[in-house]
Amino acid sequence: MKKKLPAAIWILIAMVLGIFVGYMIFTSFPDKKAAAQIAGYVSIVSDVFLRLIKMLIGPLVFSTLVVGIAHMGDAKSVGRVFGKSLGWFFTASLISLLIGLVMANLLKPGENLGLPLPDIGASANLATAKFTLKDFVSHLVPKSFAEAMANNEILQIVVFSMFFGVALASLGDKAKTLVAAIDELSHAMLKITGYVMKLAPLAVLAAMAATVATNGLGILLKFAVFMGDFYLGLFVLWGVLILAGVSFLGRRVFKLMALIKEAFLLSFATASSEAAYPKILQALDRFGVKRKISSFVMPMGYSFNLDGSMMYCTFAVLFIAQAYNIHMPLSTQITMLLILMLTSKGMAGVPRASLVVIAATLNHFDIPEAGLLLILGVDTFLDMGRSATNAVGNSIATAVVAKWEGQLLSESDAEVNAKALDEEAAATLAHPAHA
């Protein structure tokens, strides 16, 4: 029997093919409108894939989080895990913002740009009013659970699920039937997720092809310095995150990195953190993180712990300020960092959400919003790196919290568990009707 290629290899192949197909479209159709139209049709596959993921995220977060909290047993345990998770998230966010600030000051990517600057009065047409502390706090609590599910408001779903899970835990035996039903729902959602993930390589191919067909590879050369500086900053952030993982998990963190490579590539290629969510849950299962921890920490992480997006916020704001030759003293930069700590919380793990936060920050410090037009053309390529970084950060955060809580299996037990999961998956493929 021939050994199947790993899913990560298929995704890499799809990325390369996507770049090739996109470049062929770009060169074959000099008219940008025609190329963009074709790219629009090509991107249908990736759009459908991301919509399928979004379709699953709400019920998946609700079911796994409620069951995880219910299995913790009491509100004290929930509060303890919640506190530890938030402590890690805010520390990681602060470090990410600081790295972006330091790298932008050291590398100065906005100086001597050599590109025409957009008119100061131009607008990027992004809604920025909603990103205030007042609106964030009021937006935190859903008016309706159905509305939160319909709009895929992850943070609101998390808030409701926490209340629901704690209530079920307090009811004890009375809630056994309902907990069991929701547990079955979570398994059903994960099963559907497995089917959807079969489309991942096609979605990656389409996403890459559409991006390159629209922008060409020439745009990368124009912004080579800016993009190079940003990805250098991301490498530094990855190093810091892995070092943090080593300090708490030891060498096992490298095993975790190997397990999430597929999720990493998927989030990179689709420029969406959400696309990687189900894959990360599966990787954490194989790593030995008990589901009651991963199902609790991961959803919160997608609202509070988007490390790559955090770093990008400070980096991009300072880049635009430098491009327009606007001096920002250190005190102003620190103020900006603290504001971003608040306004960025609840930022969705979806493409371009960070641009809205950046636009709001630019307005606050009287930096031309038009500066966003400078980076919009390459933002998709930057978003790939941000999304992949978010996947790394949330994976390490969840594993560390599990270690703190004593809910991380030993390496030997994790290997046994991984083999059991593989056997279950193989049995499902062989006899899908009986799965």
User: Does the residue 141 lie in any domain?
Assistant: yes
Arithmetic mean of pLDDT over the chain: 82
Segment 207-233 shows an average pLDDT of: 82
3-state secondary structure of 289: strand
Q: Which residues pair with 408 in a beta bridge?
A: 289
* Range from 69-73, 240-244, 269-273 that averages highest in pLDDT: 240-244
Looking at residue 313, its pLDDT comes to 87
| Per-residue pLDDT at 434 | 47
Do 361 and 339 form a contact (C-beta atoms < 8 A)?
yes
pLDDT at residue 1, rounded to an integer: 40
Q: What are 46-56's pLDDT values in tens digits?
A: 888 888 888 88
Helix axes 379-404, 291-304, angle to 10 degrees: 140
Asked whether residue 286 is assigned to any structural domain, the reply reads yes
Q: Are 67 and 225 in contact (CB under 8 A)?
A: no
Residue 180 in domain: yes
Name the token pair of 163: 């209340």
Q: What is the mean pLDDT of residues 318-327?
A: 88
| pTM to 2 decimal places | 0.79
Residue 402 banded pLDDT, cuts 50, 70, 90: very high
What single-letter DSSP state applies at residue 130?
T
Rounded to whole angstroms, how far apart are CA atoms 334 and 49? Answer: 40
288: alpha, beta or left? (left if phi > 0; alpha if psi -120 to 50): left
Distance CA 380, CA 368 (A): 21
**Separation between Cα atoms, residue 185 and residue 309, nearest integer Å:** 32
Neighbours of 327 (CB within 10 A): 7
What is the count of structural domains for the chain? 1
Q: Which residue has the tokens 């190329």?
A: 35
User: b vs e for 387-420, b when ≥16 Cβ sit within 10 Å of the residue's Cβ?
Assistant: bbbbbbbbbbbbbbbbbbbebbbeeeebeebbee
The verdict on residue 164 lying in a domain is yes
Average pLDDT over residues 45-68: 84
Parent domain of 202: 8-434
The whole-number pLDDT of residue 67 equals 84
Average of per-residue pLDDT across 284-306:
85
- Report the SS3 class of residue 302: helix
Identify the top-confidence range among 57-71, 93-107, 220-234: 93-107
pLDDT at 400: 95
Q: Indicate which CATH number applies to the domain containing 308.
A: 1.10.3860.10
Please give the C-alpha separations between residue 19 and each of 84, 215, 268, 388, in angstroms, as whole numbers.
42, 11, 14, 18
Is residue 3, in this structure, part of any structural domain at all?
Answer: no
Tokens 């009651």, residue located: 292
- Mean pLDDT over 196-223 rounds to 80
289 forms beta bridges with 408
Mean pLDDT of 164-173: 85
Look at residue 18 and tell me if it is in a domain: yes
pLDDT at residue number 26: 87
φ/ψ bin of 124: left (φ > 0), alpha (ψ from -120 to 50), beta (otherwise): alpha
Asked if the model's pLDDT at residue 302 lies above 90, the reply is no
How much of the chain, in percent, has pLDDT values that exceed 70?
A: 86
Q: Is residue 185 part of a domain?
A: yes
Classify residue 239: in a domain, yes or no. yes
